[in-house]
Structure 1
Amino acid sequence: MDRDLLRESWLEFILFCPGLTVFVRVRRCRSHIMCPDDCAAECKQDVLHLHRVPLTGVTARELWLLSPWGTWQFFRILDDRLIEIRADGTPVLQGVVPGVPPSRPVSSSESGK
């Protein structure tokens, strides 16, 4: 990696995991972020800086946010969108209610029509 790119990127640290290198920016925020779109709007400059890190099959870009209440939120920055992730890196499914199976469209044969 270009050392000047790293110097100007505002990265707090880089995690070297087996098969994946994660470039991380940490930031305090004023409130709990409700969705990835809110994160993109609230942290626009941080997202733009992280976009300078090349995204490959073995790299990831993440923004870690700390709320005033001491809770953490983690967002992975892809080329075309942000996704919220858990501390272990698994995606948080947006709009899913715990304990309720996701709805699926009912076909015309099932509805009796």
Structure 2
Amino acid sequence: MTRGRPSLQAIGQAAGIAAKRGVVIVIDPSKKSPFDLYFIRSQDIVAAKVKRARSRIREPKEIAVRFKSEIAEIRTQQLPSLVQREFWTLAPWGSWQFFLILNDRIIEISTDGAPIRSSLQDQEKPAPPGPPSALQGVAPRVSAPDQGFLCPFYAQVRE
């Protein structure tokens, strides 16, 4: 169950940000979808939920507490492995924060979808050198097959 009406202005701004990452499909709020927009990239599809936050979220664990019902609703959606779940928040002063929602954890990401290194490590343990190990559970980024692929959200005939 979500709290309050959907923020149409925030969703509009989010669509502009998402357009830099792929082809955007904004969902009509009256459709009662758990996601506000989808965007299609060459390697995957992202389903995003947009909410307003009253203050900055300091760490990914905090979002699981503040938006408990929304995060639970997103996680319960049965989606193909090609679809990633993201949760976007807009603060009153206009700054955005983006989070990748996985089954077992939440990772803060940048505008372009790249993980923010500080969100990948525990504050008590320093991060080991090398590539972040927390990304092992992230869905692999694969390209769609050239022939015979029909996206359920965006169909395009290749010639």
State the TM bucket, normalised to the shorter chain.
0.7 to 0.9
Hey, what does 1:94 align to over in structure 2?
118
* Superposed displacement of residue 57, structure 1: 3.8
Q: Which residue of 1 aligns with 2:62?
A: 38
Q: Identify unmatched segments of 5+ residues in structure 1.
A: 1-6, 97-101, 106-113
> 2: distance between equivalents of 1:38 and 1:20?
27
Higher relative contact order (CA 8 A, sep 6+): 1
Shift of 1:64: 0.3
Q: Which runs of 4+ in 1 moved over 4 A?
A: 102-105
CA-CA distance at 1:104 after TM superposition? 6.0
Q: Which has the higher helix share?
A: 2
TM-score after normalising by structure 2: 0.53
Q: TM-score, normalised by structure 1?
A: 0.73
Give the 3-state SS of the residue equivalent to 1:37 in structure 2: helix
Aligned partner of 2:89 among 61, 65, 69: 65
| Partners of 1:44 and 1:12 in 2: CA distance | 17
Map 1:97-112; keep pairs closer than 5 Å: none
The structural deviation recorded for 1:52 is: 2.3
Larger radius of gyration: 1
Cα distance, 1:93 vs structure 2? 1.3
Q: 1:82 to 1:95 in 2, by over 3 A?
A: closer
- Name stretches of at least 5 consecutive residues in structure 2 with no aligned partner: 1-30, 121-125, 130-159
SS in 2 for 1:94: helix
